[in-house]
């Protein structure tokens, strides 16, 4: 099952959206700007 | 195959699949489902009377659908055992028997429609995985019209057509009209080295397979006009360049350029191929009688199942991963399991045979020793502290910890490879990794941060990749700031949340956790747990008012000295920005948090202990009650 999730790079601060597969093989997260792997899923704002 | 079938110490289980594997090296227990073949193979003498009367005609898979077979058949001429079988999906029906003609003509009376699948259980000391590969299906490349144009075939179909045992008895003919093709084109890299179709990797075997095919054509039909459309010919290997030159000198024309499209003349069924000849710099059009698509190699579709059953690891391409590319090229990461052939990577017959020989030798070495040496760095369980939560078993990538709900985890040391993932996951520190204890790692952190901690970039580096990446950077004399200090762990998954917090508590301005890339993990997939733990640590830091940006995660392979140096360079700036006040605040907050954490752990241990004692009391009471009721009332 695929869903879009927001991530934040802890090196350069870039926030971006990437496809997240819940049931698939995990993939390495990479910042599209600085290529860092310190990518943190952002918490969804409480509605 | 015949030799293996006749060998007194080799048991060939055909039409069988492994459905469950348990145990560890030297002591695997394997369950195998042996499918019913509805023919008693010991009685069948392959007289073929049954297949003559069978009314079902379907495409023959072995002949790539270019010929037909019956519902009762021998899969291919050299099959072992040489006995017929009935495919129940093709047969008109055996329950009740709808046709039964084979049954009537069989003199040996070996057809048995009551046969059922069997479950066999076998104990083995080691296993070799040789599940092979699949050829790429080029139907999705609509430009080439495979399966739309009769005379566009794959290299696998070419093999059948030119084989003496093939559907045309070795007479090479066009599928459209049965005539011999005189102008043949081979298109290379179909489904290989492509980001659009198939796979991005080189399939290794296709170039030399085409060279071999052109030589076969030149030998059988010297007047054939053969053309090969290629990106570049990869003819590495003993004698391969000679073969390639022989093919060229025999008149085969090699054209550098991959055709963009194939068109069919609906009348003649001839094919027009347009290609840019990148050597001549010209756009060319070739009229051909037949086009052979040199298809690439893909991992088998059921690789996932095999991976799950045998606890294997796979590369990003989907092939099974060896334990080490140079030192253990035939060993799987799980001990006692070895790899051979194309299941590990695309390779030709010679390389497959070499790897199979090596795998068999490794098995011999393992089994003939009679005993195995286990890793020293295995976990030790303090039973009194264990809360029986089973988290250690859940994260073990080797399934080396057996746990049943409410029970004490049982560590199978022979199956353990010592990644330390379990010890890092244990919420009450009941597991200790021998030679990599928390105390030992904390002592290293203490030593690093003893003086001027604000100048240090504390880095947890996994033994196999990141630490070696640091070595590579050093031996290549790459320049990077001197502030990095490495704590070596066997796997990045050994780094617990507590260790990260401990480093911050001891004054580290920045902490880096580094490990292997996902596809390179030495411990199958343990580094996926690293991600989970680092994410948990980010959350915890944020809750405690500490900037999560001070904790970093990077995947650095042993070859990525450049990346290691770059990471050290890039992280030096945020390290320098952490102020003394921030570090002091962090230390204070985490010292208090540590006390709370220790308190929580002790409470969990005490609660579990109390629960166990209550359960033991209840058991004692019930057994005493049972004993009293058996004994009956005392006689007065």
Find all residues with CB under 8 Å of B564, minimum gap 6, and list them. B466, B469, B470, B472, B473, B478, B480, B556
pLDDT one-digit tens code per residue, B360-372: 999 999 999 988 8
| Weakest mean pLDDT among B58-72, B82-96, B366-380 | B82-96
**Residue B513 Rama label (left phi>0; alpha psi -120 to 50; beta):** beta
CA distance B226 to B218: 9
Residue B175: give its domain's CATH number: 3.50.50.60
CA distance A14 to B187: 44
CA distance B267 to B522: 58
Check CB contact of A15 with chain B, cutoff 8 Å.
Answer: no
Largest Cα separation within chain A, whole Å, is 32
Please tell me the predicted confidence (pLDDT) of residue B633: 59
Please check whether residues B447 and B560 belong to one and the same domain. Answer: yes
Please tell me the predicted confidence (pLDDT) of residue A44: 65
Top residue of A7, A27, A35, A38 to mutate, by most chain B CBs within 10 Å, is A38
Please check whether residues B163 and B274 belong to one and the same domain. Answer: yes
Give me the residue from B535, B549, B555 closest to A37, CB to CB.
Answer: B555
Scanning B480-579, the segments in alpha helix (DSSP H) are: 497-505, 527-543, 561-577
Q: Would residue B27 count as lying in a domain?
A: yes
Residue with tokens 């519902």: B71
CA distance B397 to B405: 19
Top residue of B304, B315, B549, B564 to mutate, by most chain A CBs within 10 Å, is B549
Please compute the mean of the pLDDT values over residues A14-35 and round it to a whole number: 85
Highest averaged pLDDT of the listed ranges B75-84, B286-295, B411-420? B286-295
Give me the residue from A28, A34, A41 closest to B555, CB to CB.
Answer: A28
Q: Which residues pair with B190 in a beta bridge?
A: B295
Do strands B379-381 and B431-433 pair parallel, antiparallel, or not at all (unpaired)? Answer: antiparallel
Please check whether residues B493 and B542 belong to one and the same domain. Answer: yes
Please check whether residues B163 and B263 belong to one and the same domain. Answer: yes
Q: Would residue B460 count as lying in a domain?
A: yes
CA distance B314 to B302: 13
Q: Would residue B87 count as lying in a domain?
A: yes
Q: Would residue B47 count as lying in a domain?
A: yes
Check CB contact of A12 with chain B, cutoff 8 Å.
Answer: no
Give me the residue from A26, A37, A41 closest to B553, CB to CB.
Answer: A37
Please check whether residues B454 and B398 belong to one and the same domain. Answer: yes
Residue with tokens 């952190």: B445
* Higher per-residue pLDDT: B182 or B626: B182
CB B149 within 8 A of CB B261: no
- B570, A26: Cβ pair inside 8 Å? no
Q: Is the peptide bond preceding residue B89 cis, with omega within 30 degrees of 0?
A: no
Q: Find the closest chain B residue to A28 by CA distance.
A: B518
Please tell me the predicted confidence (pLDDT) of residue B96: 65
Q: In which domain, by residue range, is B323 found?
A: 299-369
Side-chain half-sphere of B6: how many Cα atoms within 13 Å? Answer: 4
CB B513 within 8 A of CB B552: yes
pLDDT one-digit tens code per residue, B379-431: 999 999 999 999 999 999 999 999 999 899 999 999 999 999 999 999 999 99
Q: Which of B369, B401, B418 is the last residue of a domain?
A: B369
Check CB contact of A11 with chain B, cutoff 8 Å.
Answer: yes
pLDDT one-digit tens code per residue, B394-407: 999 999 999 999 89
CB B25 within 8 A of CB B323: no
pLDDT one-digit tens code per residue, B516-543: 998 888 898 899 999 999 999 999 999 9
- pLDDT exceeds 50 at position B48: yes
- pLDDT exceeds 60 at position A47: no
Closest to B428 (Cα-Cα) out of B591, B607, B598, B594: B598
Please compute the mean of the pLDDT values over residues B56-63 and round it to a whole number: 93
Please check whether residues B176 and B117 belong to one and the same domain. Answer: no
CA distance B489 to B510: 18
Q: Would residue B103 count as lying in a domain?
A: yes
Q: Would residue B631 count as lying in a domain?
A: no
pLDDT one-digit tens code per residue, B213-248: 999 999 999 999 999 999 999 998 899 999 999 999
The total domain count for chain B is: 4
Please check whether residues B359 and B458 belong to one and the same domain. Answer: no
Q: Would residue B604 count as lying in a domain?
A: no
Q: Would residue B498 count as lying in a domain?
A: yes
Please compute the mean of the pLDDT values over residues B137-150 and round it to a whole number: 95
Please check whether residues B404 and B320 belong to one and the same domain. Answer: no
Here the ipTM equals: 0.93
DSSP letter assigned to residue B490: S
Q: Which of B342, B369, B396 is the last residue of a domain?
A: B369
Do strands B261-264 and B271-277 pair parallel, antiparallel, or not at all (unpaired)? Answer: antiparallel
CA distance B40 to B127: 28
Please check whether residues B398 and B443 belong to one and the same domain. Answer: yes
Q: B519: distance to nearest CA of chain A, Å?
A: 9
Q: How confident is the model at residue B631 (pLDDT cuts 50, 70, 90)?
A: low
CA distance B239 to B387: 63
Largest Cα separation within chain B, whole Å, is 117
Please check whether residues B456 and B577 belong to one and the same domain. Answer: yes
Please tell me the predicted confidence (pLDDT) of residue A46: 42
Please tell me the predicted confidence (pLDDT) of residue B326: 86
Please tell me the predicted confidence (pLDDT) of residue B88: 87
Find all residues with CB under 8 Å of B209, minimum gap 6, and list them. B155, B294
Please check whether residues B412 and B558 belong to one and the same domain. Answer: yes
Please check whether residues B285 and B303 belong to one and the same domain. Answer: no
Please tell me the predicted confidence (pLDDT) of residue B93: 74
Check CB contact of A19 with chain B, cutoff 8 Å.
Answer: no
Q: Which of B123, B157, B181 is the last residue of a domain?
A: B123
Closest to B568 (Cα-Cα) out of B635, B494, B472, B492: B472
Please compute the mean of the pLDDT values over residues B60-87 and round it to a whole number: 92
Q: Map residue B188 onto helix, strand or coil.
A: strand
Mean pLDDT of chain B: 93
């Amino acid at each position: 099952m695929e869903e879009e999730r927001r991530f934040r790079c802890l090196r350069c601060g870039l926030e971006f959206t990437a496809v997240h597969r819940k049931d698939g093989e995990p993939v390495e997260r990479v910042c599209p700007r600085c290529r860092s792997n310190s990518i943190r899923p952002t918490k969804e704002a409480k509605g | 195959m015949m030799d293996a079938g006749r060998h007194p110490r080799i048991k060939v289980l055909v039409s069988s699949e492994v459905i469950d594997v348990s145990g560890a090296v030297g002591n695997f227990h394997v369950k195998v489902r042996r499918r019913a073949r509805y023919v008693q193979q010991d009685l069948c003498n392959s007289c073929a009377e049954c297949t003559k009367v069978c009314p079902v005609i379907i495409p023959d898979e072995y002949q790539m659908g270019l010929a037909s077979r019956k519902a009762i058949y021998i899969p291919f001429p050299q099959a072992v055992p040489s006995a017929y079988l009935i495919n129940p999906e093709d047969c008109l029906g055996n329950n009740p028997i709808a046709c039964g003609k084979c049954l009537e003509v069989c003199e040996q009376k070996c057809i048995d429609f009551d046969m059922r699948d069997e479950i066999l259980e076998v104990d083995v000391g080691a296993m070799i995985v040789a599940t092979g590969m699949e050829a790429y299906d080029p139907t999705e490349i609509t430009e080439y019209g495979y399966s739309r144009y009769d005379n566009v075939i794959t290299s696998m179909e070419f093999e059948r057509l030119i084989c003496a045992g093939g559907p045309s008895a070795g007479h090479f003919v066009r599928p459209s009209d049965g005539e011999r093709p005189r102008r043949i084109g081979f298109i290379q890299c179909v489904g290989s080295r492509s980001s659009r179709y198939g796979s991005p990797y080189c399939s290794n075997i296709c170039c030399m397979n085409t060279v071999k095919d052109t030589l076969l054509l030149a030998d059988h039909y010297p007047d054939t006009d053969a053309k090969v459309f290629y990106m570049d010919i990869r003819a590495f290997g003993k004698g391969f360049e000679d073969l390639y030159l022989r093919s060229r000198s025999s008149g085969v024309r090699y054209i550098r350029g991959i055709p963009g499209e194939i068109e069919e003349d609906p009348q003649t069924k001839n094919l027009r191929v347009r290609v840019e000849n990148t050597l001549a710099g010209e756009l060319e059009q070739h009229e051909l009688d037949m086009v052979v698509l040199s298809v690439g190699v893909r991992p088998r579709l059921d690789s996932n199942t095999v991976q799950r059953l045998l606890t294997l690891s796979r590369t990003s391409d989907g092939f099974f991963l060896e334990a080490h590319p140079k030192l253990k090229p035939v060993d799987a990461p799980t001990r006692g399991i070895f790899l051979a052939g194309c299941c590990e990577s695309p390779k030709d017959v010679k390389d497959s045979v070499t790897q199979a020989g090596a795998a068999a030798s490794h098995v011999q070495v393992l089994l003939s020793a009679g005993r195995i040496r286990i890793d020293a760095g295995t976990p030790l369980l303090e039973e009194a502290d264990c809360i029986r939560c089973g988290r250690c078993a859940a994260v073990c990538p080797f399934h080396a910890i057996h746990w049943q709900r409410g029970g004490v985890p049982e560590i199978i040391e022979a199956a353990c490879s010592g990644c330390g993932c379990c010890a890092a996951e244990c919420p009450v520190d009941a597991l200790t990794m021998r030679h990599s204890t928390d105390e030992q790692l904390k002592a290293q952190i203490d030593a690093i941060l003893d003086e001027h901690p604000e100048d240090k970039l504390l880095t947890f580096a996994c033994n196999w990749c990141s630490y070696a990446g640091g070595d590579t950077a050093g031996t290549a004399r790459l320049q990077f700031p001197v502030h990095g200090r490495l704590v070596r762990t066997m796997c990045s998954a050994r780094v617990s949340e507590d260790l990260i917090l401990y480093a911050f508590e001891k004054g580290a301005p920045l902490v880096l956790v580094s490990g292997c890339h996902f596809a390179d993990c030495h411990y199958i997939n343990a580094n996926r747990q690293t991600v989970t733990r680092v994410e948990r640590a980010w959350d915890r830091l944020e809750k405690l008012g500490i900037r999560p940006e001070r904790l970093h995660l990077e995947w650095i392979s042993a070859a990525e000295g450049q990346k290691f140096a770059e990471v050290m360079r890039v992280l030096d700036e945020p390290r320098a920005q952490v102020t003394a006040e921030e570090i002091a605040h962090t230390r204070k907050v985490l010292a208090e948090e540590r006390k709370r954490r220790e308190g929580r752990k002790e409470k969990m241990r005490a609660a579990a202990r109390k629960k166990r004692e209550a359960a033991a009391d209840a058991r004692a009471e019930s057994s005493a009650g049972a004993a009293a009721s058996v004994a009956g009332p005392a006689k007065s």
